[in-house]
Chain A
Amino acid sequence: EIVLTQSPGTLSLSPGESATLSCRASQSVSSSYLAWYQHKPGQAPRLLISGTSSRATGIPDRFSGSGSGTDFTLTISRLEPEDFAVYYCQQYSALTWTFGQGTKVEIK
């Protein structure tokens, strides 16, 4: 099973700053099979990015994804108040889906 490790665990930032979230895989992940989600308490998780860098419908362009192999990054430029949440990366391989443990982006 591919293990995803996200860092940092918590990111304390102010609105308007940029956030860089890391997701490292225990073995190589196909770029087509890496996604990112945003999750707020009591709400449904929301797909942000699929295929490493493709924004989902309605996701603002301040969210961007990049990476390959075992290292992937979600960048949020110019944090808005509604962006403070927990972010998860997720990979798919051989009919198994695994998630990272999450990065919490909190207001500083």
Chain B
Amino acid sequence: EVQLLESGGGLVQPGGSLRLSCVASGFTFSSYALSWVRQSPGKGLEWVSAIGASTTRTNYADSVKGRFTISRDNSMNTLHLQMNSLRGEDTAVYYCAKHPTHVPSAYFDFWGQGTLVTVSS
């Protein structure tokens, strides 16, 4: 059974940093691309960043480019999102999502339950 378990969320002040993690199980982690998707309170889903299976290929939404960094440790089956210079509009539940291929592809076949990030003073 595919499982994605996010952690690392919490309350942080504007301008601060936070590192999210997503531990995966139930599939060959190193063979699949992954993404982070977020949902702000009362709003819809927004794709944040993607990374290929081999880690060399990364993509970011314009809203986070230059502030967030996606990475993965295939030896630990873990995906990370380093978030710097956080803003109020980054407040959201952050989901880890798996692609069905080794490169980021059209859709997400499995998701985690999310971790809440609150940016507030």
Contact = CB atoms under 8 A, between A and B. Distances in A.
Whether A and B are associated in the same complex: the answer reads: yes
A10 to B, nearest CB: 14
Contacts of A32: 106
Contacts of A88: 44-45
A50 B111 contact: no
Contact of A97 (B35, B111, B114): B35
Nearest to A39: B45
A47 interface: yes
Contacts of A42: 113
Interface of A: 32-33, 35, 37, 39, 42-47, 50-51, 56, 88, 90, 92, 95-102
A37 B107 CA distance: 10
Nearest to A51: B106
Contacts of B45: 37, 39, 45, 88, 90, 99, 102
Given A44-B4, A44-B95, A35 B47 contact: no
A71 B3 CA distance: 33
12 contacts: A33-B107, A44-B95, A44-B112, A45-B111, A47-B108, A47-B109, A50-B109, A88-B45, A92-B106, A95-B50, A99-B46, A101-B44
A88 to B, nearest CB: 6
A46 to B, nearest CB: 7
B47 to A, nearest CB: 4
